[in-house]
Chains A and B, each alone.
Chain A
């Protein structure tokens, strides 16, 4: 059984790997579609302008985080009058940033794992079975995507409190409650995308697994999931980012010990002053891990979308 996946023919529509440079370059050489000069110039201009637009705030974030406070309170300056790393040392004292960081990591990480697991099961059911209620389920789940958060913020909060009172399971103010909330935010999109992805994994694979004596669950875990790694990584990344940046629910549902970064960062704008250099330094510190992770995994994201959502 272990080598079923290896033995099985690679699916024809398998997620295209991110284009390998060498291969497509050689293709282009032979291709009659070499772009004309005018196109290349248009491309150069457009992409340069766009890069400027995209990177401008990132540059400001970086340069401001290295400025002394007086540089960020007067007229804007492109370069720091003197370089200082003080903001990077101060941010940990102004606000318990490390603590919030750990909270965000726990909450976003757990929400991601739960969301992905739940979405894999649901997407498998929707893509592989015809059953009563299938359409209702998909429509309902997708339509939750359009619920305004503001409508169910207070009710959800009440619900958690009442569940807590009735069962003793503390959801309000706990990381668990936040995990539960966040995992549902990414669930509709994840189910929808994975359903598309699983549909592109040929059924012959499942059947081969059945022949090898696996049940449906075995087929899912041993064959379909391995074949769908890019799609799963893609929804994981999406789920993580959704949870990492959320502000509204976190501001009502957390307390001192469970507060997450997105809310905690507001602590730099205190009653008396805004430490812009610290705000920028802290923003950078909390962004680097997600951005790095995202960029590392982006090839999966593209591949996952290619095979799943956009088919």
Chain B
């Protein structure tokens, strides 16, 4: 009897559900946007400055400039990092999104696979001055190989080794390390009396991936084979991960507490003289905010086996950065292209990258003296000579989650005094690989 009474309710639900699912998702795959509203644009910017408000202050005047040039009014929304990917996913799913948006360059292939972003074919590239204006490594991080890029490089970043000059001097280290052996030796000299050699962000999945990826390259290992299948347990990959965790487990130059760092506490440790070295992308502004003078720290390329960074096994940085993409469902296609052209123009590139401490992916803009300071020179050279993009595969997000978590767990083991062995590293990575399989 009760079942009968439930029937009308469930029928109602079913009808409504059918009506809804009939509508399906938002974007139709073939559609290439329109020019229905030629005078407005919505721009989602990622949070590049110290906070959202600061970004608005930086971008606001530039958007006004664009409006004066083209008559197009840009509605800006600066989206904090924790929300950005979810907001993009939501926009992708619904087809209701901004016209132009920032994406982390490691997401390029994943987002490319959704089909929600405008492909940058020759015609679109021509509209912003051609591919050749951009540095080749930066272009490599804009989507899967062999496909039209899903985005255009906007800000580029690479890793460098920052060191505390005073602490090095006190420990009698005359020359900043160029190889990992030298780094460990220097770290051991410094690590005493509550001070430590190197800082790490053990709880930050993405950072773990960045470090392991580079060390993997130096061991001749890629985390994916040519067919795009996970190859996490190859000898090279295991050795790379072990080498990174061993800085804490075996060499004891990373403080155990760094295992739970996930919000860039290692930078403050560095700025306050608790650690002597840190591997970071562009840390100058943060150091300044924490009261460390530029003359107190030095910067050199991240160590490589030979001591001389280059391609292949001498790679010493992942290619980090932000790309700018156009949402396929845009209502102002021409305007969006104009806006991307504006953002990637030499002048804007110089100004924005200077403000955010990044390196312009636009070659012409790199020649500004701002990118020839002690830190930016290292970052810029690394960008052009010895940086490689993370694997551009649709499953990149899963990769970051699974392997990043494996490294986080290994750091937790090391910090708790559990042994970290080749076997335990391999076991963790094997589990991570299984999680990748659907």
Which residues does A use to contact B, with CB under 8 Å?
A: 70, 73-74, 93-96, 132-133, 135-136, 140, 154, 157-159, 161-162, 164-166, 172, 251-252, 255-256, 263, 266-267, 269-274
Known contacts A165-B23, A252-B87, A267-B80; is-contact A96 B53 (Cβ 8 Å):
yes
- The interface residues of chain A lying within 8 Å CB-to-CB of B90 are 157, 172, 252
- Which residues of B, 265-316, contact A by the 8 Å Cβ criterion? 265, 267-268, 272, 285-286, 289-290
Find out whether the CB atom of A273 lies under 8 angstroms from the CB atom of B286. yes
Name the B residues within 8 Å of A172 (CB-CB).
Answer: 90, 94, 96
| In the assembled complex, B5 has its CB within 8 A of some CB on chain A | yes
Q: Does A252 contact B86, Cβ atoms closer than 8 Å?
A: yes
Mark B86-109 against chain A: 1 for CB-CB distance below 8 A, else 0.
110010011110000000000000
Closest residue of A by beta carbon distance from B82? A266
A162 touching B20 in the complex, CB below 8 Å, given contacts A266-B80, A271-B81, A272-B285: yes
| In the complex with contacts A73-B268, A94-B51, A172-B96, A132-B5 CB distance below 8 A | yes
Which residue of B47, B51, B96 contacts A164 across the interface (Cβ within 8 Å)?
B96
Q: Is the CB of A270 within 8 A of B47?
A: yes
- Please indicate the chain B residues that have their CB under 8 angstroms from the CB of A161 in the complex: 26, 93-96
Is A140's CB under 8 angstroms from B9's CB? yes
- Give the chain B neighbours of A252 by CB distance below 8 A: 86-87, 90
Q: Does B83 contact A (CB under 8 A)?
A: yes
Q: Report the Cα distance A272→B285, complex, angstroms.
A: 9
Sorted from nearest, which 10 A-B pairs have the closest CB atoms?
Answer: A161-B94, A256-B77, A162-B23, A272-B286, A274-B263, A94-B51, A270-B51, A136-B5, A73-B268, A252-B86
Q: Known contacts being A162-B20, A162-B23, A273-B289, is A251 close to B268, with CB within 8 Å? A: no
Contact indicator A267/B52 (Cβ below 8 Å): yes
Does B6 count as interface, using CB distance less than 8 angstroms?
A: yes
Q: Does B110 contact A (CB under 8 A)?
A: no
13 pairs of residues in contact across A and B, judged by CB atoms under 8 Å: A73-B265, A136-B5, A157-B90, A165-B96, A251-B82, A267-B51, A269-B263, A270-B51, A270-B80, A272-B50, A272-B264, A273-B286, A274-B264
Nearest residue in B to A162 (C-beta to C-beta)? Answer: B23
List residues of B whose CB falls within 8 A of some A CB.
2, 5-6, 8-9, 20, 23, 25-26, 47-48, 50-53, 77-83, 86-87, 90, 93-96, 263-265, 267-268, 272, 285-286, 289-290
Report chain A residues within 8 Å CB of B51. 94-95, 267, 270
Most chain A beta carbons < 10 A, residue from B90, B96, B289: B90
CA gap between A255 and B97 in the complex, in Å: 11
Q: How far is the CB of A272 from chain B (nearest CB, A)?
A: 4
Question: Once the chains are docked, how many angstroms separate the CA of A166 from the CA of B53?
Answer: 35
User: What is the predominant secondary structure among interface residues of chain B facing chain A?
Assistant: helix
Pick from B2, B77, B86, B96: contact of A251, CB below 8 A.
Answer: B86
B71 to chain A, nearest CB (A): 23
Contact B96 A154 (CB under 8 A): no
- Which chain B residue has the least Cβ–Cβ distance from A140? B9
Verify A133–B5 contact, CB threshold 8 A.
Answer: yes
Give the docked Cα–Cα distance between A297 and B372 (Å).
62
If A133-B5, A158-B20 touch, whether A70 touches B272 (CB-CB below 8 Å) is yes
15 further A-B contacts with Cβ under 8 Å, apart from A133-B8, A157-B93, A161-B26, are: A73-B268, A95-B51, A95-B53, A133-B5, A154-B93, A158-B93, A162-B23, A165-B23, A252-B87, A255-B77, A256-B77, A267-B52, A271-B50, A273-B50, A273-B268
Instruction: Note all chain B residues with C-beta closer than 8 A to A93.
Output: 53
| B-chain residues with CB within 8 Å of residue A251 when the two chains form the complex | 82-83, 86
The chain A residue sitting closest to B98, CB to CB, is A255
A95-B52, A256-B78 known; A271-B264 Cβ under 8 A:
yes
Report which of A74, A154, A166, A273 forms a contact with B264, defined as CB distance below 8 A. A273
CA distance A269 to B48 in the complex (A): 13
Q: Within the complex, which residue of B9, B78, B83, B289 is in contact with A272, where a contact is CB–CB below 8 Å?
A: B289
| Interchain CB contact under 8 A, A273 and B82 | no
Q: Known: A70-B272, A158-B94, A272-B264. Is A166-B82 also a contact (CB below 8 A)?
A: no
Closest-by-CB residue of A relative to B95 is A161
Within the complex, the shortest CB–CB distance from A54 to chain B, in Å, comes to: 26
B272 touches A136 (CB 8 A): no
CA distance A267 to B81 in the complex (A): 9
* Interface pair A166/B23, CB less than 8 Å apart: yes
Per the bound structure, the CA–CA distance linking A133 and B7 in Å amounts to 11
Chain B residues with CB under 8 Å of A271's CB are 47-48, 50, 81, 264
Beta-carbon nearest neighbor of B290 in chain A: A273
Expressed in whole angstroms, the Cα–Cα distance for A263 and B6 within the complex equals 38
Instruction: Give A66 Cβ to nearest chain B Cβ, in Å.
Output: 20
Q: Which residues of B contact A95 (CB under 8 A)?
A: 51-53
Cα-based distance from A65 to B322 in the complex (angstroms):
34
Residues on the B chain within 8 Å of A136, using CB: 2, 5-6, 9
Which residues from B are CB-within-8-Å of A270?
A: 47, 50-51, 80
* Docked CA distance A158–B20 (Å): 9
Q: How far is the CA of A73 from the CA of B268 in the complex (A)?
A: 8
Which residue of A has the minimal Cβ distance to B13? A140
The smallest beta-carbon distance between B84 and chain A, in angstroms, is 11
Contact B2 A157 (CB under 8 A): no
Q: Which residue of B lies closest to A155 (CB)?
A: B20
C-alpha spacing A97/B122, complex, angstroms: 44
A272 to B266 alpha-carbon distance, docked (Å): 10
Contact A73 to B272, CB < 8 A, known contacts A158-B20, A256-B77: yes
Closest to B7 in A: A136
Distance in Å: Cβ of B162 to nearest Cβ of chain A: 14
Docked pose: A208 CA to B427 CA in angstroms: 76
Q: How far is the CA of A164 from the CA of B96 in the complex (A)?
A: 10
Contacts of A94 in B (CB 8 A): 50-51, 53
